[in-house]
Amino acid sequence: MYKVLLVDDMEISRRQVRRLNLWNGETNFCIAAEAQNGQEALNLLRQEKFDLLITDIKMPKIDGIELMKETAENGLCPCVVLLSDYEDFEYARMGIQYGAFDYLSKPPEYNSMLGLLQRVEQYLNRKEQEEMLVRSLSEKLEEKIGDTFPSAELEQLIDAMKTKQQDISGDIDRLCNAVEALYGNDPIKKGSAFKKAMSELISQLKLHYCWFVNFIDSNKYKNLDFITADGNRTAREMFGDAVNELHESIRSFEYGNSEDQLENRICRYVLENVDSELSIEGISKVLFMNRKYISEVFRQKTGELMIDYITRVKMARAARLLCQSSRKTYEIALQLGYRDTEYFSRLFKKHMGVTPSEYRNSAAEL
């Protein structure tokens, strides 16, 4: 039985879908859970496996387009279907462009939903077969790589990144040298080893830095093709450049390497609560410390004013949201605690060099 997550902020809309006589043995699908908004849906998707996500487009907090993009980027559900009113057609079309399987008008009719579920089942079956083939090929390739993969060198590199060492070039070189020593001039084995190393590296960083996904596009790194490379750089150079870029991004967001350090605790709190109003006064109350004291310690330890750091983090989060979603600038500003959209746009341009709309357009062209 395929599990469905149904998302809509209107109870009556969810009820209209539930009432269709399709979920209790009539098809191979069942509505396993429901959510009232995109944020609630993301929480469910991260906790449980679903085969099909059926979501409304216009919702508070996180809309259907952004939910779909987050789902696709993080591999949270293999198939997404959008529900839309007739006036939302442009949004629905945008959703298809971003990878939605299909869309249905609200309220969905029995025959339309039945036909959709039949197509989804065919798609999921085909996808499962393709994934089985890929897994089989990957397993065979991993057998060739076998126990010779340089796990110790990879762990050393991961530890260096977790502790935010100033220079990790030696750790990168050790891993690259071990890969090349093991697989020589075989581009497939060598490229696969670098891809495996990058995938494990990203997974470990996500676990260690729970704020990671809100600021850094992990797919940018996990999807790198180390086998064919890019023509100008070797697989080793691509891997080294990507790891260094990741490392610098992490170090720019989080100061300190231990929760015993006040500056690290401040950074973690800001990064983990970026989607809310933040102030030095509020942070000082959470930490049960004097406002002036934490401001001065932060400045001394980092060389950056605490208010400047908070703003910089919020602008980085805004940039990520502009790339991830179709939400309007004022909606992103409100999410980040800015009620004055013009002020938010001025701050964004000061930090990023372009307006929010210009940033989104340039990102879409890449």
pLDDT at 192: 86
DSSP-assigned letter for residue 87: G
Q: Which two tokens stand for residue 58?
A: 């216009």
What is the full DSSP assignment across 190-212? Answer: HHHHHHHHHHHHHHHHHHH-TTG
Report CA dihedral (70, 74, 78, 83) to the nearest 10 degrees.
Answer: -10
Give pLDDT tens digits for 16-64.
Answer: 999 998 987 889 999 999 999 888 898 899 888 999 999 998 887 788 8
Residue 144 belongs to a domain: no
Same domain, 249 and 279: no
CB < 8 Å & 24+ apart, contacts of 233-237: 235/187, 235/190, 235/191, 235/194, 236/176, 236/179, 236/180, 236/194
Same domain, 249 and 266: no
Same domain, 124 and 12: yes
Question: What is the per-residue burial (b if ≥16 Cβ within 10 Å, else e) of 39-78?
Answer: bbbbebbeeeebbbbbbbbbbebbbbbbbbbbbbeeebbb
Write the CA distances from 44 to 33, 48, 71, integer angstroms. 8, 6, 11
107: preceding bond cis by omega (within 30 degrees): yes
Same domain, 229 and 304: no
Domain CATH for 315: 1.10.10.60
Give pLDDT tens digits for 189-232.
Answer: 888 889 989 999 999 999 999 999 999 998 889 888 888 766 67
- The candidate with the shortest Cα–Cα distance to 235, out of 151, 175, 161, 145, is 175
Q: Give the dihedral sign, CA 19/20/23/26.
A: positive
What is the number of structural domains in the chain?
A: 3
Residue 142 belongs to a domain: no
Domain termination residue (choose one: 197, 225, 253): 253
Same domain, 78 and 7: yes
Domain termination residue (choose one: 106, 133, 160): 133
Domain CATH for 125: 3.40.50.2300
Expressed as residue numbers, the domain containing 226 is: 149-253
Contact 310, 336 (CB under 8 A): no
- The candidate with the shortest Cα–Cα distance to 179, out of 195, 199, 158, is 195
Provide φ and ψ at 56, rounded to 5°.
-70, 160
Same domain, 93 and 174: no
pLDDT at 47: 83
Residue 338 belongs to a domain: yes
Same domain, 101 and 193: no
Residue 113 parent element (H or E)? helix 110-145
What is the C-alpha to C-alpha distance for residues 153 and 173, in angstroms, rounded to an integer? Answer: 9
Same domain, 313 and 355: yes
Residue 99 belongs to a domain: yes
Measure CA 145 to chain center: 29
Residue 143 belongs to a domain: no
The single residue listed with the structure tokens 């499962």 is: 128
Q: What is the mean pLDDT of the chain?
A: 88
Q: Which two tokens stand for residue 313?
A: 């983090």
Same domain, 267 and 245: no
Contact 39, 88 (CB under 8 A): no
Same domain, 122 and 18: yes
Q: Give the dihedral sign, CA 181/186/187/191.
A: negative
Residue 141 belongs to a domain: no
Q: Specify the pTM.
A: 0.63
Same domain, 188 and 115: no
Same domain, 88 and 174: no
Q: What is the pLDDT along the chain (366 residues), one digit of tens a residue?
A: 899 999 999 999 999 999 998 987 889 999 999 999 888 898 899 888 999 999 998 887 788 888 888 888 788 899 999 888 755 566 666 667 667 888 888 888 999 999 999 999 998 988 888 777 766 665 555 555 555 688 899 999 999 999 999 999 999 999 999 999 988 888 888 888 899 899 999 999 999 999 999 999 988 898 888 887 666 788 899 999 999 999 999 999 999 988 889 999 999 999 999 998 899 999 999 999 999 999 999 999 999 999 999 999 999 999 999 987 777 899 999 999 999 999 999 999 999 999 999 998 887 655
pLDDT at 177: 94
- The candidate with the shortest Cα–Cα distance to 203, out of 223, 225, 218, is 218
pLDDT at 281: 95
